[in-house]
Amino acid sequence: MQFLITVLLDGLIYASYLFIVSLGLTITFGVMKILNVAHGGFFAWGAYLASISIIYLGDNEYNSFLYYFAIFLSAIIVGLFFGYIIERFILRKMYNEDIHLIVLATFGLFWILEDLILHVFGVDPLMPYYPAMELGGIELGGIFQGVYSLTLAGLAIIVAFICWYFLKKTKYGKVLQSVIFDREVSVSMGINVTKVYLITFIIGGMLGALGGAYIAPTISVSPGFAIDVVVMSFAVVVIGGMGSVPGALIGSLIVGLVRAFAVHQAPILELFIIYAIMAIVLIIKPEGLFAPPKPRKI
């Protein structure tokens, strides 16, 4: 029983982290049909901006509430700033280009964002541990879990709910679904697709940055740490289905739980098993488990 509870908790925490990061990636793909490799850059910048803010607040003994304010503000700033610049001045000029060229452009942008980090923040690792240390640990199922890490699950649930409410219950959400379904039809119906693209890219960037900013207090934030996260996010969206929000959720849960089980039972298979699942999904259902339906065009 203790084993099952522990695996479940470990899996849920890791899945929550993956969901927040991969959600931005899958939304951007769903709307814009762009595989945004630069998503890792948003993640890294979110982590760095949050880190220096938290370290400043912690060193100067500000109210702990401000840590969380800094985390969300960092995500918003990074998403708005880089999201606007990248979409407005680079991607918008490439929408008519071959999709592979756009992927290469985002790949280049990822490295530019990574390199900018070196120039702005330097190479020394940052450890903004204050929020994680202050919340400490709690005994669940016989072993201690970090409370801060558990709040990740809460954040993931809130983000998933906001996403669902936005897409299903708001006018703009319906507009977004229309663009996801068919860009040309949306244009003919008077939807400003250019604006939708810009807003979507910024929101996707904010989600990526939020993942980095929120995870920062539990890791050593150092140059290059985002690369693995991007790769793992790709595995999640491939399993769940590119462009599918429920897919990102289920994909994250599958990867998180399977990885946790492997770490406990067969540690050497930890990575193999994730990519084996991805390969199986690609063979059986190449579009992913929950890929949105494609319109039939005549």
Partner 1 sequence: MKLINLKTLGRIAITGLIASVLPMSVNAKDTVKVGVVSFLTGPAAGPFGTPAKQGAEIVIDAINSGTMPAPYNTKGFAGATMNPIFSDESGGGTKQVGLFRDFVQKQNVDAMIGYISSGNCMAIGPVADEVKMLTIFSTCGTERLYEEKLRSHVFRTQGNAVGDSLAAAKYIADEYFKGKVSTSDKMYTGINQNYAWGQDSYKFFKLGMAQYMPSAVGSTKPQFPKLFSGQYGSEISALSLDKAKIVHTSFWNGDFEAFMLQALVRGFFQKKILVSSVGGSGVDSLDKKFPDGVIMGTRGNVGLIVRNDTTPLNKWFIDSYKKRYGAYPLGPSYQYARAVMLYKIGMDKAAKAAGKFPTQDQVIAAMKGVTFESFADTIEMKRGDGHQAVHSIAYGVTKYNKAKGEPGIEKVIKYSASCIYPPAGAISQKWVESGMPGRKCN
Q: Which residues make up the interface to partner 1 (CB under 8 A)? A: 2-3, 6-7, 9-11, 13-14, 17, 118, 123-125, 127, 129, 132-133, 135-137, 143-149, 215, 218-225, 227-229, 259-260, 263-268, 270-271
φ/ψ (deg, to 5) at 138: -140, 140
Question: Measured from the CB of residue 136, what is the shortest distance to partner 1 in angstroms?
Answer: 6
Burial of 266 (0-12, 13-18, 19+ CB in 10 A): exposed
Question: Measured from the CB of residue 240, what is the shortest distance to partner 1 in angstroms?
Answer: 19
Q: How far does Cα 9 stand from its chain's mean position?
A: 20
Q: Which is nearer to partner 1, 97 or 115 (CB)?
A: 115
CB 245 within 8 A of CB 167: yes
Residue 47 parent element (H or E): helix 39-59
Which two three-digit tokens encode residue 111? Answer: 């490295």
Q: Which is nearer to partner 1, 29 or 130 (CB)?
A: 130
Q: Which residues contact 215 (CB under 8 A, 6 or more apart)?
A: 17, 47, 152
What is the per-residue burial (b if ≥16 Cβ within 10 Å, else e) of 70-96? bbbebbbbbbeebbeebbeeebeeeee
Q: Which is nearer to partner 1, 189 or 271 (CB)?
A: 271
Question: Measured from the CB of residue 14, what is the shortest distance to partner 1 in angstroms?
Answer: 6
Give the integer Cα–Cα distance in Å for 79 and 265: 39
CB 100 within 8 A of CB 239: no
Q: Which is nearer to partner 1, 112 or 143 (CB)?
A: 143
Question: Measured from the CB of residue 12, what is the shortest distance to partner 1 in angstroms?
Answer: 10
CB 223 within 8 A of CB 117: yes
Question: Measured from the CB of residue 16, what is the shortest distance to partner 1 in angstroms?
Answer: 11
Q: What is the dihedral of CA 104, 109, 114, 116, to 10 degrees?
A: 150
Give the integer Cα–Cα distance in Å for 65 and 63: 5
Q: How far does Cα 98 stand from its chain's mean position?
A: 25
The position carrying tokens 């407005």 is 88
Question: Measured from the CB of residue 132, what is the shortest distance to partner 1 in angstroms?
Answer: 5
Q: Which is nearer to partner 1, 7 or 37 (CB)?
A: 7
Question: Measured from the CB of residue 284, what is the shortest distance to partner 1 in angstroms?
Answer: 26
Q: Which is nearer to partner 1, 97 or 228 (CB)?
A: 228
Q: Which is nearer to partner 1, 12 or 176 (CB)?
A: 12
